[in-house]
Amino acid sequence: MITPDELDAVIRARLDAVAASSWLELDALVDTLATAAGSAVEWQAPEPRVELIDGVATQVLGFAHPVLPAAARGAVEFLHRECLVVPFDWQAWVRGCRDLPGDSDPVTAVKYLTATVRTDRFDDGALAAAVESGAFAAALRSLRPTGALSPGSVR
């Protein structure tokens, strides 16, 4: 297990490695998520079906699951592609910090985003809740430190 300082250094290195074109892509996704339509999550119920169970026709119902907006799916893809879903003890981290502070530093934002994406694998709807509350977009916005590249600039 790496130390917290080593983890922070890894995260900073990964953030530094993100290309300008990828930041511009993320900016567009965050702008879309900032709109009501862009952050709307739909809950989709599966179609009921009938199965034969022990020779008896039984109606089988499934659970509704969230369908994230395209911008949120794109942002998750960005996080994975840029290796910003980092391996660390995110479960212990969220016990002390469930909500992302408004003006979070980029390292904390990566930890929050990692915890949110990983939690969603075990708690269907965790990511949807973060998208709907605006916390997901706020964390994505916090990935870039103040004074970082602005749209149209080149690295």
State the pLDDT at residue 154.
Answer: 41
Q: Which residues pair with 58 in a beta bridge?
A: 51
Range 94-112 average pLDDT: 79
pTM of this structure = 0.82
Q: What is the rounded distance in angstroms from the CA atom of residue 98 to the CA atom of residue 36?
A: 23
Type of residue at 86: V
Tell me how far apart the 2 most distant CA atoms of the chain are, in Å: 67
Lowest-confidence segment of 27-31, 41-45, 69-73, 84-88 by average pLDDT: 41-45
Residue among 124, 39, 123 nearest 75 (CA): 39
Contact criterion met (CB below 8 Å) for 129 and 68: no
Tally of CB atoms within 10 A around 89: 12
Give backbone dihedrals phi and psi of 49, rounded to 5 degrees, phi first: -135, 160
- What pLDDT shows up at residue 149? 44
pLDDT tens, position by position, 16-58: 999 999 999 999 999 999 888 777 899 888 888 888 888 888 8
Each residue of 110-153: pLDDT tens digit? 999 999 999 999 888 999 999 998 899 999 999 976 544 444 44
Span of 70-74, 102-106, 110-114 with lowest mean pLDDT:
102-106
pLDDT at position 63 is 82
- Structure tokens belonging to residue 108: 């904390």
pLDDT at 155 over 70: no
